[in-house]
Amino acid sequence: MFGLAFATLVGVSACGGTPAASTSSGSPSGAAATDALGADTQAIVDRGVLRVGVKNAVVGFGYQDPATGEYSGMEIELAQKLADQLGVDVEYTTVTAATRTELLDSGDIDCVLATFTITDERKESWDFTTPYYTDYVTVLVEDASGIQGLADLKDKLVGVSSGSTSARSLVEAMIEAGVLDGTGYSADTFDPATWTDGISFQQFDDYPAISTALSAGTVDAFCVDKSILAVYRTDGRSYIEDQFAPQQYGIATKLGSDFSTYCNDFIETCLSDGTIDGYISEFNLG
């Protein structure tokens, strides 16, 4: 699935077991101390810090406790384990769907572990590892709205995150269900800011803002990956009966970087040795 002709990096250590404490000196240890690394990966080791873009409001994946500032979730654990394997510290930077690629492109972060969906279009600009989790898109509504399925969303205003693929996925699902006729739709040119054929969208910079808009009645529904919606499914709110558009999450890195290969080997090992299954169970993501 990764399919890029990078030089093979040898000796990637297993993901299982208890992670070692991060070093503060940045001195190489483990795999990074003994194996030949590519220049991009070696630069991280020499710096002594792995800089990772993560979410801070997605329970089970990337969540930052507002009281303590501590991060938790499967993607946080994976980032820590990757840093441990490299023998470096880890530095988390909160990203959104709108900022994650900007920070990656600018070099402010080394990789993105932030419920980042793999698409063919995105693979033209960034590298992605083998998927570590598959989710689905759905829609959250206030129970009082009476919205229960895709047909009930006709002519409604839906809140989505800027830079996400959720709006396009919802329109495609409504076309497939026969709710919309699909006139004028093209996946290549679709823009949620201008789409008004049977449904319209308002884009927000973050998920809490969409949730607030839903409570206020500014939007009729909130559409994104189900795992992200889970934290906002409070009393008086429900998912619609439909879920659609499988979303495969992978670690994103700069296109053509040798660190891409390192991350892919890391994820494949974590998949094969049961580490990721353990996280899915630990954080109730199954």
CATH of the domain at 63: 3.40.190.10
**CA nearest neighbour of 62 among 116, 1, 6:** 116
CA distance 172 to 180: 9
Q: Each residue of 53-83: pLDDT tens digit?
A: 999 989 999 999 999 999 999 999 999 999 9
What integer is the mean pLDDT of 123-135? 97
Q: Each residue of 83-97: pLDDT tens digit?
A: 999 999 999 999 998
State residue 35's pLDDT score.
62
Write down the pTM of the prediction.
0.74
Q: Is 254 in the same domain as 128?
A: yes
State residue 230's pLDDT score.
87
Confidence grade of residue 2 (pLDDT, cut at 50, 70, 90) = very low
Q: Is 230 in the same domain as 254?
A: no
Q: Is 35 in the same domain as 117?
A: yes
State the total domains in the chain: 2
Angle between helical axes of 258-272 and 275-282 (0-180°, round to 10)? 70
Q: Is 239 in the same domain as 151?
A: yes
Which of 22-31, 51-60, 117-126 bottoms out in mean pLDDT, i.e. has the lowest?
22-31
**CA nearest neighbour of 195 among 156, 224, 146:** 156
Q: Is 128 in the same domain as 184?
A: no
State which residues form the domain around 166: 135-247
Confidence grade of residue 228 (pLDDT, cut at 50, 70, 90) = confident
Q: What share of the chain is helix, strand, coil (3-state, %, to 5)?
A: 35, 20, 45
Q: Is 47 in the same domain as 127?
A: yes
State residue 192's pLDDT score.
97
Listed ranges 17-21, 28-32, 90-94; the one with the highest mean pLDDT: 90-94
Q: Is 41 in the same domain as 98?
A: yes
Question: Where in the chain does DSSP place strands (E)?
Answer: 49-54, 57-58, 62-64, 71-72, 89-94, 111-112, 126-128, 133-142, 157-161, 200-204, 221-225, 237-239, 244-249, 252-254
State residue 164's pLDDT score.
86
- Whether residue 25 lies inside any domain: the answer is no
- Report which of residues 18 and 87 the model is more confident about: 87
Q: Each residue of 259-286: pLDDT tens digit?
A: 999 999 999 999 999 999 999 999 988 7
User: What does residue 42 show for φ and ψ, rounded to 5 degrees?
Assistant: -65, -35
Q: Is 89 in the same domain as 140?
A: no
- Whether residue 127 lies inside any domain: the answer is yes
